[in-house]
Chain A
Amino acid sequence: AQRVTQPEKLLSVFKGAPVELKCNYSYSGSPELFWYVQYSRQRLQLLLRHISRESIKGFTADLNKGETSFHLKKPFAQEEDSAMYYCALHGSSNTGKLIFGQGTTLQVKP
């Protein structure tokens, strides 16, 4: 079964501290993984995807197939990073469907 798990509902850190939002997935094939972010009162938007291997707003995520993880990291959190973060999986079907994790609220305190 295809599944995405984000074990932390809330992650609270101080400004300048490192951040790691955990994401584990369950999928038998070669997945495509994404991180989406939803700022307060804004729409969901793509933060990054594993195939592009880029860093957006200082965030990076590496796909670890051995651990079936795609954790999101940032070395120094900023207050404007406070938002809801969703990890999502796109399987090999041609439907384009995404399977979302439960989401993690990141709270960066001053």
Chain B
Amino acid sequence: GAVVSQHPSWVICKSGTSVKIECRSLDFQATTMFWYRQFPKQSLMLMATSNEGSKATYEQGVEKDKFLINHASLTLSTLTVTSAHPEDSSFYICSAISGQETQYFGPGTRLLVL
């Protein structure tokens, strides 16, 4: 099946710094990638939809200047958490689809902001 990777798998950073998370589709071209946030023992909250070559579409309540998304190629999307604060600590998950097919999920990135 299709594989989606994320890097890094976990990151610890100081408050005020920026963190970049990469999401790659390894064996297919992803026309669309999605970024989710998951709190412990809770559901996935969609943050934004990212289409290759165009601006991301953010869900209501998600600050686009805080969570910068770039989808420069059909196999790579990045999420940058700018000026991170402790409340940004979470598990960030990406998923990718090709056309209208099934979403394939990455393993997630755990971010801890000190």
Contact = CB atoms under 8 A, between A and B. Distances in A.
B42 A95 contact: no
Contacts, number: 46
Interface string A35-68: 0100000111110010000000000000000000
Interface residues of A, number: 20
B43 A100 contact: yes
- Sorting the interface of chain B by its residue count into under 10, 10 to 19, 20 to 34 or 35 or more gives 20 to 34
Contacts of A43: 93, 105-108
Prevailing SS type, chain B contact patch: strand
Contact of A102 (B43, B93, B104): B43
B108 A102 contact: no
A110 interface: no
Interface string B27-69: 0000010100000011110100100000001000000000000
Interface in A12-53: 34, 36, 42-46, 49
B108 to A, nearest CB: 7
Contacts of B44: 44, 86, 100
Contact of A96 (B97, B107, B108): B97
Contacts of B42: 102-103
B105 to A, nearest CB: 4
A109 interface: no
> What are the 4 tightest A-B residue pairs by CB atom distance, in nearest-first order?
A44-B105, A43-B107, A102-B43, A96-B97
20 contacts: A34-B102, A36-B105, A43-B93, A43-B106, A43-B107, A44-B105, A46-B103, A46-B104, A86-B43, A95-B57, A96-B49, A96-B97, A96-B100, A97-B34, A97-B49, A98-B46, A98-B103, A100-B46, A102-B43, A103-B41
